[in-house]
Amino acid sequence: MLPAELISLEDRYGAHNYAPLDVVIERASGAWVYDTEGRRYLDFLAAYSAVNQGHCHPAIFAAMLAQAKKVTLTSRAFRNDQLPLLYRDLHEMTGYEMALPMNSGAEAVETALKAARKWGEVVKGIAAGEAEIVVAANNFHGRTIAIVGFSSDEQYRRGFGPFPAGFREVPFGDIEALRGAITANTCAFLVEPIQGEAGILVPPEGYLREAAAICRERNVLLMADEIQSGLGRTGKLFASMHEGVTPDVMIIGKALSGGFYPVSAVLSSREVLGVFSPGDHGSTFGGNPLACAIARAALRVIVDEDLPGRSAELGEFALNYMRGLRSPYIVEVRGKGLWIGIELNRPARPFCEALKQRGVLCKETHECVIRLAPPLIISKADLEWGLEQIRAVLEEGTDAHSEAVAELAGTTASGK
């Protein structure tokens, strides 16, 4: 079918909860994707960091294929031979005593919220139903009712109330606001070490380190949502490591499967995850043997190919390149590793559309920010080529696409 026909079918029969770029991907390999008509595009989004290892990584594919021939799902009613090996691999890689596997990132966040509340009651001694969790403004942890209930983005909340209580919001990066928000009923502080959906917002130096110290002093769990920022994206295995912080609870997902399958997990101590008893929490697919085999292979790729190191090296190059641009549209360039936000003084969607025409796929966030997050396996030559296309769209007044960009930039376009 022609791309226009496929787009028409999607728009007719699918709920309109996304506003994707109109490119219909048919296949992908490494850092490149191909549409149904054979045109190729450099992927500068990596499925929101889910394919840090690149599209269709052969080692992860081989692991998936081998396990799919054996057994895919048993549910947790029975044991399987892959789950304990994933537990061991996660422990050896991160040092955390225990893990609880789920499917999506949002499910893992919900799991962490439940663990924190029960820990607050049975370990810290908070009265039943009184536990509070502090969250940061401009957070993005998923789209469940509980999670959007403590979002500061009005669109995420509009029409979905009433919401669960027990959350207190503080400004991101404001350590004194965090200190002042903690009470005797506070069981946890949930935070993204770098806020992704908000536009790749990097907090002040020392913020996470000071937050960890405050949480220790007040017997509060520091819970880091590293679903996007973790597993190599920022130039360290986890973004928390940039400040030498080991959160009490680590939430991971996305690249935990290399894009082959939904896999997420909550990592913590025996004291925290040990509060769960059989029946307290669960998932039919969480911890299934196919997911575990895929996750084990995805983790091996991150280590064997030193993806955090590649992200650090290539990210420094990309950040310096972008900060050297001279464009009337750029307000700020920020980021860590191969995770960069370009804040503009007008809607970013038209620029993403123009980049698509040049063979580079990226996506706007919070209307005026272009976020860049290519697969960490990208070659330097491909990265340079992609950055040159961005430079041409944002900077060159004589570029062939300038008139189209100028025209598009004058319109209002939005969508996540």
Residues annotated as catalytic (active site), given as ranges:
140, 225, 254
Radius of gyration of the chain (CA): 21
CA distance 193 to 223: 10
> How many Å separate Cα 340 from the centre of its chain?
13
212 exposure class (CB count in 10 Å sphere: 0-12, 13-18, 19+):
buried
Instruction: Please name the amino acid found at residue 114.
Output: K
Cα of first residue to Cα of last residue in the chain, in angstroms, is: 26
